[in-house]
């Protein structure tokens, strides 16, 4: 037994694949990739490269398949996975809880209007090959009833609230499910706007939430001279920025549609602030 204790404390036990200690569950298009890449500054944080999508799409593949997707870790290292569609998945909170009720949940949020435009920009860039999507304005407030998977038959306060890009941003509805399954001290909210303006602070706060001593410092970051988003900076000063699918150019949206969205989200955002006991300035 003592020999085993010695092996553990000296880190000699062979590394093995473990279920995640923490999961970045969302929100899609709020900076989830940046968060994960920046957390990797901490050598104790290990994560699989691609999104695993176990608790939504791949659940029938079974728990052993899930574990197999994880990196090998030693005692004391923290395994994280990120699949941003978990946030708005009806089943994910319950399934994660039944695997491990102590799982730490991380959620990046940003202004849901910006998030919706980012989501639209991603969908329309993917759909270029199958025909251009209607404009953002049509999708958000117009007649988008015929468009794939957009339910625009009824409007809420003038907005197509059934369109996925809008629906995901009604954060309090999804958040409620997470709070029904996990204690609030196991849920950490990352401010997606601050992750852009002051990444070191947001990363340090997340490292602390994970029970680690913060490693991230302002000097680990530089700013992409073209996209203006933060990038990781090497010891030699070289910048490593996220790929070309992050920090895309967004369309200019008509001011009247921006106003309609702001009004639509106003009361929804307030419900979210109350739920998480944190005020944002969206
Ligand atoms: P856009 O590409 O629409 O600007 P996610 O990783 O969750 O899909 O989020 C993508 C969004 O993260 C990007 O959307 C961008 O606005 C934001 N983001 C935050 N930090 C970033 C960074 N350091 N580099 C690039 N994009 C970043």
Instruction: Give me the helix-helix angle, 92-99 and 171-181, nearest 10°.
Output: 20
pLDDT digits 0-9 by tens, 252-270: 999 999 999 999 999 999 9
pLDDT at 13: 81
ipTM: 0.99
Ligand 1 atom showing the smallest separation from residue 250 Cα: 3
Q: Both ends of the chain: CA-CA distance in Å?
A: 55
Q: Is residue 4 part of a domain?
A: no
Q: Is residue 151 part of a domain?
A: yes
The whole-number average pLDDT for the span 16-36 is 98
Q: How far is the CA of 194 from the centre of ligand 1 (A)?
A: 12
For 240, the token pair is 């490593």
If you measure from the C-alpha of residue 85 to the centroid of ligand 1, how many angstroms do you get, rounded to a whole number? Answer: 15
- Does residue 27 have a cis bond before it (omega within 30 degrees)? yes
Express each pLDDT in 213-251 by its tens digit: 999 999 999 999 999 999 999 989 999 999 999 999 999
The CATH number of the domain where 237 resides is what?
3.40.50.300
- Count of structural domains, the chain: 1
Is 230 a pocket residue for ligand 1 (Cβ < 6 Å)? yes
Q: Examine the pLDDT at 149 and tell me if it is beyond 70.
A: no
Mean pLDDT on 55-68: 98
**Alpha helix positions (H), 92-183:** 92-99, 112-126, 136-141, 164-167, 171-181
pLDDT at 9 over 80: no
- Indicate whether 183 belongs to any domain: yes
Residue 131: predicted pLDDT: 65
Residue 139 lies in a domain: yes
Domain assignment of residue 6, yes or no: no
Average pLDDT over residues 78-88: 98
Which segments of the chain are extended strands (E)? 16-17, 22-26, 45-46, 72-73, 78-82, 104-109, 187-191, 221-223, 230-233, 239-240
User: Distance from the CA of 180 to the center of ligand 1, in angstroms?
Assistant: 29
Total-model pTM: 0.94
The whole-number pLDDT of residue 268 equals 98
Domain for residue 7, yes or no? no
Residue 55 placed within a domain = yes
Q: At which residue do the structure tokens 């999507």 appear?
A: 133
List the domain range (segments joined by +) for residue 185: 15-276
Which of 34, 38, 192, 197 has most ligand 1 atoms within 8 Å of CB, for mutation?
Answer: 34
2 belongs to a structural domain: no
Q: Which of the four pLDDT bands, split at 50, 70 and 90, describes residue 14? A: confident
């Amino acid at each position: 037994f003592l020999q085993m204790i010695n092996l553990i404390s000296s880190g000699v036990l062979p590394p093995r694949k473990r279920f995640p200690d923490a999961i970045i569950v969302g929100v899609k298009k709020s900076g989830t990739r940046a968060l994960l890449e920046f957390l990797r500054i901490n050598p104790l944080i290990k994560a699989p490269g691609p999104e695993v999508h176990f608790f939504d799409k791949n659940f029938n593949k079974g728990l052993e398949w899930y574990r197999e997707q994880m990196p090998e870790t030693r005692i004391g290292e923290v395994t994280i996975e990120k699949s941003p569609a978990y946030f708005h998945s009806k089943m994910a909170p319950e399934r994660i809880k039944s695997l491990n009720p102590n799982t730490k949940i991380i959620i990046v949020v940003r202004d849901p209007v910006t998030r919706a435009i980012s989501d639209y920009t991603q969908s329309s860039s993917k759909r270029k090959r199958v025909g251009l999507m209607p404009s953002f304005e049509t999708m958000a407030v117009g007649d988008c009833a015929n468009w794939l998977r957009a339910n625009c038959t009824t409007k809420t306060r003038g907005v197509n609230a059934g369109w996925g890009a809008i629906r995901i941003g009604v954060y309090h509805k999804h958040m409620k499910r997470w709070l029904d399954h996990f204690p609030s001290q196991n849920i950490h909210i990352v401010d997606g706007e601050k992750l852009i303006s002051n990444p070191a602070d947001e990363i340090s706060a997340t490292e602390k939430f994970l029970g680690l001593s913060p490693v991230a410092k302002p000097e680990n970051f530089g700013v992409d001279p073209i996209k203006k988003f933060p990038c990781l900076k090497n010891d030699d000063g070289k910048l490593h920025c996220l790929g070309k699918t992050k920090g895309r150019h967004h369309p200019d949206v008509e001011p009247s549609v921006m106003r309609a969205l702001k009004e639509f989200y106003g009361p929804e955002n307030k419900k979210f602030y109350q739920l998480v006991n944190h005020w944002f300035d969206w």
